[in-house]
Structure 1
């Protein structure tokens, strides 16, 4: 019996139809395909079907794949604005240290999804899956972007999903601790592959982080990557830390010519003026 046939048989016992959904990185990186995927999932849920989502491994490459099902699950949670994400694993939850090595390691019952101290508690890759506890923490951060809480629990516990649905406290509860992003912001933040990078000067970093304004050419120091108008690019500070990302209004070659220049020089340098901003504030998200 195939995997999807097993799902169908189990769900049919409860008079629920299962629907297999295979997603690739391109389905979530392209805005139109992203919206189509969201519409499909929402329609299936409205019809009472149970979507069974997996990565489309037949077309995925090492450079353009989700990497693990934890990440995929979190991005799907963003996609449908789920209330919560449950990640089942071979451990009871997140511990203060690896319980297989440290005898007095304690279970972390609850914490904020973006608590930086959690990263030090995550051990190496688990015996199941590719991600390990670190990828589950990253997934919880992704899920929190749309306001979803995450529970990490042992998958072999009896009736674990039913018990969680009844409100029983199992595993580790990582709660969303920031304002939910809009659907467009989630799409931008969830990009796994970026077309290029813009390195910004300190003044531009300050403006983006504290003034909520658009990115102008005068604040860009250098450009890397081969990208085109409408691609998603990263914005780094001079130390290489990504502070933002957004949809760029000019091709890489054009942005390179505009670096450090004022907006009123765009026409003389390029021969035309598309937009005054390299990235408009409506198409930019801070990280």
Structure 2
């Protein structure tokens, strides 16, 4: 893993779209859950500085549940979903008031944007959210985004704000995604327990999956694994977010939230944190929605020939290449495409239900009418509705 050449990043850069995600671990004290107002003040100053440099900025901020716990005198994050939603309702207003006060003192307008996964699943809703973000950015507003915990249900939750921030970065076609956390960068092991742990400065997109698997096996090692009692994220979720953003053409950086002044320095070529290379922006907005806006409701396992046809040749998926179906879904639902080992290689919108695919898998397209009793599509997933990951 080699760091990028500094010459690849101009010292005088053009205006960029920047998404910044800050987690509960950076916003609050680990023991009490109380807000670290000094960190918020520095973050606001850094964002306003980026705005004055000409950049558009979106802030994805955790903290509503943590602040709600503090306001209600709770000693730990609630587990019951209805109680957590109620606590989030208490905390979200307080969180926005704090941000509005800090940004307002520097004459920077802000807006609250609360999202659930349902806002991205339906194509029209997705486009409406896209338009709203770009109108806000055009007016010079900093949108402050959080998951709408008060109404979200489990099947329509992002799960963590790392994922939410990556999906927002993909949605708005951002140039940069900054994941601010309580460590300065990614390491080969937990540096608090292993003095020989090596810092990782740069990760190619092709290396992300192996790195994610290696870090996932070290979940018990503190900073490299799950989040704090006040937060839901961890290093593994940040790697998942980096994979989403990188695939969407967004350069991603994991860096320490206590030093938000470094954000501008990174944009100008300084090497802080761990940077993840961005894939070329070759996928259109509709296919980005298929890949990351929709929620896959099932899996199709493909033989080696189908994997090559779909990924290397960009062809449609035919029933002959399908060897196994997992999950229950209907026609026009999103599904994951996996190789024989279960590695997800693509996503797409299925022309058939899982029930019908089980009846035609392994068959030739011309046999579909006989097997199903009606004239159906020749393809299980047309190439226009399919995107590789």
Is the Cα–Cα contact under 8 Å of residues 263 and 276 in structure 1 kept in the other structure?
Answer: yes
Identify the residue that residue 273 of structure 1 maps to in structure 2.
375
Identify the residue that residue 47 of structure 1 maps to in structure 2.
139
> Structure 2 CA distance, aligned partners of 1:183 and 1:235?
20
Q: Structure 1 residue 110 and structure 2 residue 202: aligned?
A: yes
Higher mean alpha-carbon deviation, 207-216 vs 142-151, is at 207-216
Higher mean alpha-carbon deviation, 203-212 vs 116-125, is at 116-125
Is the Cα–Cα contact under 8 Å of residues 223 and 255 in structure 1 kept in the other structure?
Answer: yes
> Structure 2 CA distance, aligned partners of 1:108 and 1:231?
38
Higher mean alpha-carbon deviation, 81-90 vs 174-183, is at 174-183
Identify the residue that residue 226 of structure 2 maps to in structure 1.
125
What is the SS of the residue equivalent to 2:335? strand
Higher relative contact order (CA 8 A, sep 6+): 2
Identify the residue that residue 24 of structure 1 maps to in structure 2.
116
Identify the residue that residue 79 of structure 1 maps to in structure 2.
171
What is the SS of the residue equivalent to 1:2? helix
**For residues 65-94 of structure 1, what are the alpha-carbon distances to aligned partners after superposition, in whole Å with 9 as ceiling and x for unaligned?**
212111111111000010101111111111
Normalised by the length of structure 1, the TM-score is 0.89
> Structure 1 CA distance, aligned partners of 2:227 and 2:355?
44
Higher mean alpha-carbon deviation, 147-156 vs 61-70, is at 61-70
> Structure 1 CA distance, aligned partners of 2:117 and 2:292?
10
CA RMSD of aligned residues (A): 2.3
> Structure 1 CA distance, aligned partners of 2:188 and 2:170?
28
Identify the residue that residue 241 of structure 2 maps to in structure 1.
139
> Structure 2 CA distance, aligned partners of 1:2 and 1:278?
49
Identify the residue that residue 256 of structure 2 maps to in structure 1.
154
The match for 2:290 among 185, 188, 199 is 188
> Which ranges of structure 1 fall in alignment gaps of 5 or more residues?
none
CA-CA distance at 1:113 after TM superposition: 4.1
> Structure 2 CA distance, aligned partners of 1:73 and 1:225?
28
The structure 1 segments of at least 4 consecutive aligned residues displaced by more than 6 Å after TM superposition are none
Identify the residue that residue 235 of structure 1 maps to in structure 2.
337
